[in-house]
Structures are given as structure tokens and as C-alpha cells.
Amino acid sequence: GRILRAVLAGGFALALAASTAIAAEEDCPDIGLVPELTRLTQFKDGQGRTLDDVRYDIVVRATTPPVCREKDRMLNVSLRIVFDAQRGRAAPAGRTQFSYFVAIMHRVTKEIIAKEVFPVAFDFPPQRFSVAIEEELEQVRFRYGKDEKPIYYAILVGLQLSEDQLTYNRQRRGESPGAPRPAAPGLPTLPGLSGAPSAAGS
């Protein structure tokens, strides 16, 4: 599969090329946010982990419902992802960077069939401590099996974290280090499909 990204400037979306066939809304893959990967807290150098040590916080705020275009079992999905960025006490105004990933997962086999990591760089204006960043995935593209439907797949979104950042998120969420985690967090169950993952927390 292929995942192409376009950055939205000023809130205006890039036009999508017309497709020869439009998939029904219920035939789009579900979008899942990985809970422990929806926040990134960057601290200044050193061991400090108080509010005075925070350079910035990045949060995945929302995704839009996917728009699907399909032809000959080749599915093209487009959606937008909105991030909130907060500048902390330890960060001056200026350039900030983070990365997020988008993965396509088969919901029965749990196999990740494609994954891309996208870097994002933006500026904090001198007098502002929060900004919203909006990105558009123009083409999340994959082919599904002859006896399958697009809903057999899920698109997972999360922030690309270091091990320290991931550990910090898990501790903040109150998780024990060895706690089992769902393979497809935030996704509804698939009725009638053997082996389909359950929704997070069920």
C-alpha cells in the first residue's frame, strides 16, 4: 500500500482528483487512534519532569471521517488529522518538530500491511503558546482481497515516540509495564468475523 501526505496551509485542503467509482461510507476502513501514542511531551535536557521542564506537548486532537474511492478492489482513502501543540515553560518561540505515523492493519489477521512516518515542522509565534496543525492524507491506498470488504481493514494513527516518551505516557495513564494492550485500539467490533479485535476497553 501507499500513503501520500499533503500539508494543509491556512486551513485550505488540496483538491483531490476525481475517481471512477465512489465507495459507500460504510465500506470505508475504520480509523483508530492508538491511545498511548496520541500525546508527545518533550522535556528539556536533564532529568526534570515538572511543568517547568516541558518544552512542548503535541496531542492528536481529531481525525475527519474518511472519504473512500474504490475501483477493482483498489481503495483510495483520504482524511485529515488535526494536532494541538502547546508550548511549555522551557521552550522559546521558534521551530518545533515531531513525527506521526499512519498504518494500515488487517483487522482479522492483525497484520500491518503498510506504515509511513511523516515529519512535521512548524513555528510557534513569539506571543502564542498554542497552535493547531492540520494535515491531509491525500491517498491511503491499498488493495483488499476478493472475498473481503474495506471494513476488514483499519487505518491506525499515532505519534512516533521514543522509548522514554512512550514510557512516560504509559506511566501517566497508570499502566503497568507488562499490561496487555489491544491490537486495534479504538475500533468497534466486526460482527460475524472470526478473530476480529474488540473495541478498546471491552
Per the confidence metrics, is the pTM higher than 0.85?
Answer: no
| pLDDT on residue 45 | 76
- Sign of the CA dihedral with 118 first, then 150, 65, and 172 last: negative
pLDDT surpassing 60 at residue 73: yes
Under the banding of pLDDT at 50, 70 and 90, the label for residue 179 is low
| E-state strands within the chain | 2-7, 30-33, 39-43, 54-63, 67-71, 74-87, 94-106, 112-124, 130-143, 153-159
27 against 136, higher pLDDT: 136
190 against 192, higher pLDDT: 190
Q: What are 144-168's pLDDT values in tens digits?
A: 888 888 888 999 999 999 888 888 8
95 against 6, higher pLDDT: 95
- Sign of the CA dihedral with 67 first, then 2, 84, and 96 last: negative
